[in-house]
Amino acid sequence: MRMYDIILKKREGGHLAPEEIRFVIEGYTKGEIPDYQMSAFLMAVFFRGMTDEETGVLTQAMAHSGDMVDLSEIQGVKVDKHSTGGVGDKTTLIVAPIAAACGCRVAKMSGRGLGHTGGTVDKMESIPGMRTSLSEKEFVEIVNRTGISVTGQSGNLAPADKKIYALRDVTATVESIPLIASSIMSKKLAAGSDCILLDVKAGNGAFMKTTADAVQLAKKMVAIGEQNGRKTAALITNMDYPLGNKIGNALEVQEAAATLRGMGPEDLTEVCLALAENMLFLAQKGTPAKCRAMAWDAICSGRALEKLAAMVEAQGGDPDYIFHPERFGEAPVKEDVAAPEEGYLQDMNTEGIGISAMMLGAGREKKEDAIDPLAGIVLCKKTGDYVKKGETLAVLYTSEESRLKDAEAKYFESVKIKGEKPKKEPLIYARVTKDGVEEKAD
């Protein structure tokens, strides 16, 4: 078999045989296939796509490229969730403790942020002492003891995805449905949970810009999960504006803690309740209405907040930061961004706002960049809100004054103020299961 022939076949729109796909993944993981050939292959897939069968084989090959985590030592139903990535998306820090407080076992591996999207691991690391690199043994022990652990992706979990994702990131081949589906699902299959809830973001801050594309992606991932014996469902959620009001690592932990005390922003609370309801439903905890009530009760009783604190403590962090998030303090440099005119906040370019937060130090431009845990943005107005000239639209935080000017310019470039009130978009567009697509009415 020759890599050249496989690239050519895909370039011409052909269907690859399972052994050809396995040859590519094994060869690339071992370093036998060079980056330039893999890049050409990825671009061919980007333009020609893959059948469901090809995507399924690709996912399996990537999942088996490294360790398959054994969670059999954990008693009870293991549930996992995964977001396709967005801005202000701190849902894992809220939904995972809710699910654990309702009797599920949450053994979750999360990633770091890159570019305009944030990552749960970076957010957790803003808590002093918090460890996000756990051995499999410790991970399993913490889940058995507290019901929940969120850790970074272990070194040898789906290494093919790690290599391929890094290459996609620099070859403009990220936004491909078969490549995203296989990337996410290979990690989810290798991570070993029984139930998988996917949060597929749609909008200008997501990889899938339209709901139609997000539904396509969700259908593929749900099918892959079910074919591999995992109960899988997806919610298609709005990423045309940031989720919640805080963007940045410590800022997002603060907002997650507030939401777990029942004092979070309305959009974030609603998305988290919907995700928690669906996780509990997959774990067969009852009807959707009962699962929703259980999730809300976990918040109102304080049990979910206690679960988050228990996980933080078990992973070496100071749980007092969860009960008293004001302990994080504020970044030394703070700037109010004033509305240049009066009107409705018409449109937010969510990716642009994520980049502005990154420019303040909340994210990395390059993998090796350090994160400023206190940097970020607090949004005072969001799409649909009315603002007076000079009123504060947002507050920017950073530890380095020199970062402010460009970040502020990026923020301004990303918001539009106009005379008429924009149409309210739904927060949750649809639910995708093995039985089909259920559109959600707002």
Place of tokens 């109960």: 231
- Shortest gap between Cβ of 4 and ligand URA (angstroms)? 25
Token pair, residue 343, equals: 């009107």
Residue among 165 and 411 whose Cβ is closer to ligand URA: 165
CA-based R_g, the chain, Å: 21
Nearer to ligand URA, 169 or 401 (CB): 169
Distance between CA atoms of residues 309 and 433, nearest Å: 32
User: How far is 149 from 144, CA to CA, in rounded Å?
Assistant: 9
Of 32-40, 173-181, 348-356, 414-422, the segment contacting ligand URA by CB under 6 A is: 173-181
Single residue of 84, 120, 151, 414 touching ligand URA by CB under 6 A: 84
Which residue type sits at 255? Answer: E
Q: How far apart are CA 137 and CA 73, in angstroms?
A: 10
Please tell me which residue in 168, 220, 246, 410 is annotated as part of the active site. Answer: 168
CA dist 378 and 393 (Å) reads 9
Query: What Cα–Cα distance (Å) separates residue 203 from each residue in 85, 94, 137, 351?
Result: 11, 22, 39, 9
Q: Is 350 in the site for ligand URA (CB under 6 A)?
A: no
Length of the chain in terms of residues written: 442
116 is catalytic: no
Q: Are 279 and 271 in contact (CB under 8 A)?
A: no
Active-site pick, 80, 89, 161, 199: 161
From 81, 82, 219, 307, active-site residue: 82
Contacting residue, 56, 66, 85, 248, with ligand URA by CB under 6 A = 85
132 makes contact with ligand URA (CB under 6 A):
no
Measure the CA dihedral 251/252/253/254, to 10°: 50
Contact 328, 123 (CB under 8 A): no
DSSP classification of residue 359: I
The answer to whether 183 is a known catalytic residue is yes
Query: Residue 437: what are its φ and ψ, rounded to 5°?
Result: -110, 125
Size of the site for ligand URA (CB under 6 A): 9
Sign of CA dihedral 87, 77, 143, 154: negative
324, two tokens: 């008293």
Active site residue 30: no
Q: Catalytic pick from 149, 176, 183, 356? A: 183
Residue of 59, 153, 173, 183 interacting with ligand URA (CB under 6 A) = 183
Interstrand relation of 246-247 and 231-238 (parallel, antiparallel or unpaired): unpaired
> How far, in Å, CA of 161 to CA of 233, rounded?
22
Measure the N-to-C terminal CA separation of the chain; round to a whole number of Å: 52
Binder to ligand URA among 21, 93, 180, 291 (CB under 6 A)? 180
* Active-site residue flag, 161: yes
Binding segment (CB under 6 A) for ligand URA, from list 124-132, 179-187, 234-242, 248-256 = 179-187
Check if 64 is active-site. Answer: no
Instruction: Spell out the alpha helix ranges (H) of 301-391.
Output: 303-314, 320-323, 350-357
CB of 62 to ligand URA, least distance (A): 11
Note whether 184 binds ligand URA by CB under 6 A: yes
Site string for ligand URA, 200-239 (x = CB under 6 A): -------x--------------------------------
Distance of CA 230 to the CA centre of its chain: 20
Residue number with CB closer to ligand URA (180 or 268): 180
- Tell me the window of 56-64, 174-182, 303-311, 330-338 that interacts with ligand URA (CB under 6 A): 174-182
Residue 158 C-beta: closest distance to ligand URA, Å: 9
Q: Which is nearer to ligand URA, 325 or 354 (CB)?
A: 354
Minimum CB separation of residue 380 from ligand URA in Å reads 30
Q: Min. distance of Cβ 409 from ligand URA in angstroms?
A: 28
* 92 lines the binding site for ligand URA (CB under 6 A): no
Binding site for ligand URA (CB under 6 A): 84-85, 165, 174, 179-180, 183-184, 207
- Catalytic site positions: 82, 161, 168, 183, 187
